[in-house]
Amino acid sequence: MGVGKLKFRDKLKDESEDIYILALESSCDETAAAVNKNGLKVLANVVSSQVDLHKKFGGVVPEIASRKHLELLLPVIDQALAEAGIDFEDLDAVASTSGPGLVGGLLVTLTAAKTISLALNIPLIGVNHIAGHIYANFIANPEIKKPLLCLTISGGHTDLLYFEDLRGYKILGRTVDDAAGEAFDKISRFLGLGYPGGPAIEKAARAGNEMAVDFPRADLGDSYNFSFSGLKTAVMNYVNNEEQRGNELKINDLAASFQKAVVDSLTANLLQAVEKYDVESVVLSGGVAANQRLRSYIEEKLEEHNLKLYYPPLELCTDNAAMIGAVAYYQYLERDFAPLSISADPSLKL
C-alpha cells in the first residue's frame, strides 16, 4: 500500500538503527497493546481479555466486544508505554491489525492507530492478524532456521505455508470450509462443554478414549487443503443417532475422538508437505497451536524426519499485540506503510 508524498516527522530508519513500534490488536475479544524494539524484542505486551464476558453467550458477541475495546484501549496503551519505559515521542511507527476479524473490533484499534500516526506524524502500518500469529514464533524462537513450513490454525483460518525467509511465503493449502478452531468452538457448544471450544475440548479429551469413535477425515486428494465441515456434521449426526436410540453419551470420549480426527487431518497435510519441501524447521501458530495433543503428535512424527517443531509459549498463541509489532517491523523495513484511508477488512487473507 502506498502512502503517496507523505512526509514523516523523522527520517526513516534502517535495520542498523533501533526502531520502536507501538502495536495494537483488537480483532476479536482481546484488547492489546505492545511496544516492540527491532521487531522481535518485546518491551511490553499488555492484553486485556474478554473471555469471561462472552462465556455466558457461548461465543463472542461483536457489539459487546467492540464497546469493551473502546473502554479498555487507552488504559492498555498507557500501560504498555509505561512498562516499555518510553513516551509517544520515542515511537518510530504505530501499527494495528487491519484484518481479518470482527469489523467493529478492528475499527477501534485501526482508528486509534490512525490518530496516533496523524498526531505524531509517524508511519502507520496495517498488519494481517494471521501473519501476526506466524511471527509470534520468531519472537519466542529467533533461532528458527529457514526455509520452513508453518501450520497456522485459528478460529477463522487454517493455512499451510512455505517460508523461504521472513519476507516472503507461499501458500500451500488452506481450509475450503470451516477452520479448525471454528470446528472446535461449534462442537464444544454442541456437546455442552462451553466456550472457548479449544481448551474445553482438550480438557474433556484428557479423560476420554480417543479411539472410541472413528470419525471421518476429509480426503482432498493430493491437495494441501483442509476441510472440517464434514467432520463437524459427522459428530452431530452421531450424537443425534445415539440420543434417538436412548444410548448414554460419553462426552469425554466424543471430545477425544473429535480432537484426534482434527489432529490427524492437520498432521497428514503437514507431513505431505515435509516429504516434498526441503525445510530446516516446522512451526505452529494460532490459537489452536496451544493444543498439547496436536503439538505432541506432530513432534512425534517430525522426529522421523529429524525436524524440530517450534511454537510460541501459550501467552503468544492467543491474540496479542507483540506479534503484530513483529510483523510491522519487517513491513517498516520494506517501507510498506498504510495510508490514513486504510479500512478494516474482516475477511483479509494472507
pLDDT tens for each residue of 293-308 = 999 999 999 999 999 9
- pLDDT score, position 306: 96
CA-based nearest residue to 279, from 138, 165, 171: 165
Radius of gyration from C-alpha coordinates of the chain: 21
For residue 5, how many C-alpha atoms fall within 13 Å in the half-sphere facing its CB? 0
**Alpha-carbon gap, residue 233 to 222, rounded angstroms:** 23
List pLDDT tens digits, range 207-217.
999 999 999 99
> Picking from 178-182, 257-261, 286-290, which range would have the lowest pLDDT averaged per residue?
286-290
The strand pair at 20-25 and 124-128 is best described as: unpaired
List pLDDT tens digits, range 160-189.
999 998 777 899 999 999 889 999 999 999
The strand pair at 158-165 and 93-99 is best described as: unpaired
Grid coordinates belonging to 280: 530446516
CA-based nearest residue to 8, from 94, 122, 93, 91: 122
Grid coordinates belonging to 46: 499488555
- pLDDT score, position 48: 84
Q: Where are the beta strands (DSSP E) in the chain?
A: 20-25, 30-37, 41-49, 93-99, 124-128, 148-153, 158-165, 168-174, 281-285, 309-310
Which residues are annotated as part of the binding site for substrate? 152-156, 185, 198, 202, 291
**Alpha-carbon gap, residue 280 to 143, rounded angstroms:** 11
Measure Cα distances from 226 to 256, 279, 286, 289, 306 in Å.
20, 21, 16, 16, 25
Q: What is the mean pLDDT of residues 16-20?
A: 97
3-state DSSP assignment of residue 154: coil
Q: What is the mean pLDDT of residues 265-283?
A: 96
118 has pLDDT over 80: yes
- pLDDT score, position 155: 77
**Alpha-carbon gap, residue 167 to 99, rounded angstroms:** 19
Q: Which residue has the higher pLDDT, 61 or 42?
A: 42
Q: What is the mean pLDDT of the chain?
A: 91
- pLDDT score, position 1: 40
Question: End-to-end CA distance of the chain, in Å?
Answer: 15
pLDDT band at 330 (very low <50, low <70, confident <90, very high): very high
Q: Which residue has the higher pLDDT, 291 or 317?
A: 291
Which residues are annotated as part of the binding site for Fe cation? 129, 133, 319
- pLDDT score, position 2: 44
List pLDDT tens digits, range 183-205.
999 999 999 998 889 999 999 99
Q: What is the mean pLDDT of residues 281-295?
A: 90
Q: Which domains does the chain have, with CATH numbers?
A: 20-134+318-333 (3.30.420.40), 145-311 (3.30.420.40)
Is 165:146 a contact under the CB 8 Å cutoff? yes
| Most confidently predicted of 88-97, 147-156, 180-189, 317-326 | 88-97
Q: What is the mean pLDDT of residues 72-78?
A: 95
Which residues are annotated as part of the binding site? 129, 133, 152-156, 185, 198, 202, 291, 319
pLDDT band at 219 (very low <50, low <70, confident <90, very high): confident
3-state DSSP assignment of residue 175: strand
